[in-house]
């Protein structure tokens, strides 16, 4: 899988353009649709994945959806295991930052797109609308069961590896 990151909007949201074979998915088109489109020029877009519906992750959604005439996938219409074109992935319910937060886990590629659930050395806020500290703790406990070699691609900031987070992220350390 090829992963391209485009940082968009004043909140510096990470939009990911992932390609496998001839198929491409766009994850969290947060803003600046033309910037995103310029990164997708020769690719066959087959869908859009949304990790959660905060404005900084979906401001370019309508423009991208209209441009490519593709379906939008999120917590409401995905199952635990999904196959879209060349992509096989799992949807993990990682509520806490929002009630609709999900993580997309591409097991064969050992990568997760965590949205605002998990960042390098931090986690997402739980004090915004539909956020919940107890749900976040449940999601953290769930993610601790995954392989430490999985690379994470968060909604903001740098990518990381779960094993690094288990050792260095204060929210994931310990039992």
> 174: pLDDT confidence band, cut at 50, 70 and 90?
low
Q: How far is C-alpha 57 from the geometric centre of its chain's CA atoms?
A: 9
Question: Does 28 score more than 60 pLDDT?
Answer: yes
Tens of pLDDT, residue by residue over 68-126, are 999 999 999 999 999 999 999 999 999 999 999 999 999 999 999 999 999 999 999 99
Helix or strand (DSSP H, E) at 73: strand 72-73
Average pLDDT, integer, range 141-160: 97
- Does this model's pTM top 0.75? My answer is yes
What is the pLDDT at residue 173?
80
Answer positive or negative: Cα dihedral of 130, 134, 137, 143.
Answer: negative
User: What is the model's pLDDT at position 175?
Assistant: 55
Using CA atoms of 136, 141, 145, 150 in order, give the dihedral in degrees to the nearest 10: 30
CATH number, domain 2-168, options 3.90.330.10, 3.40.50.10470, 3.60.15.10, 3.40.710.10: 3.60.15.10
**pLDDT, averaged across the chain:** 96
Q: What is the pLDDT of residue 42?
A: 85
Report domain extents, the chain: 2-168
């Amino acid at each position: 899988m090829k992963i391209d990151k485009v940082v968009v909007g004043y909140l510096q949201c990470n939009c990911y353009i992932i390609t496998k074979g001839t198929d491409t998915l766009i994850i969290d088109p947060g803003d600046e649709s033309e910037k995103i489109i310029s990164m997708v020029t020769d690719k066959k877009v087959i869908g859009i994945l949304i990790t959660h519906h905060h404005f900084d992750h979906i401001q370019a959604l309508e423009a991208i959806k209209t441009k490519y005439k593709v379906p939008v996938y999120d917590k409401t219409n995905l199952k635990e295991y999904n196959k879209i074109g060349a992509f096989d992935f799992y949807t993990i319910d990682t509520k806490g930052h929002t009630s609709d937060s999900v993580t997309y886990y591409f097991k064969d590629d050992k990568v997760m797109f965590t949205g605002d659930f998990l960042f390098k050395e931090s986690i997402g806020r739980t004090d915004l609308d539909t956020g919940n500290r107890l749900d976040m703790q449940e999601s953290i406990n769930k993610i601790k069961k995954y392989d430490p070699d999985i690379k994470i691609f968060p909604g903001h900031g740098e990518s990381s590896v779960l094993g690094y987070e288990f050792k260095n992220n204060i929210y994931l350390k310990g039992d």
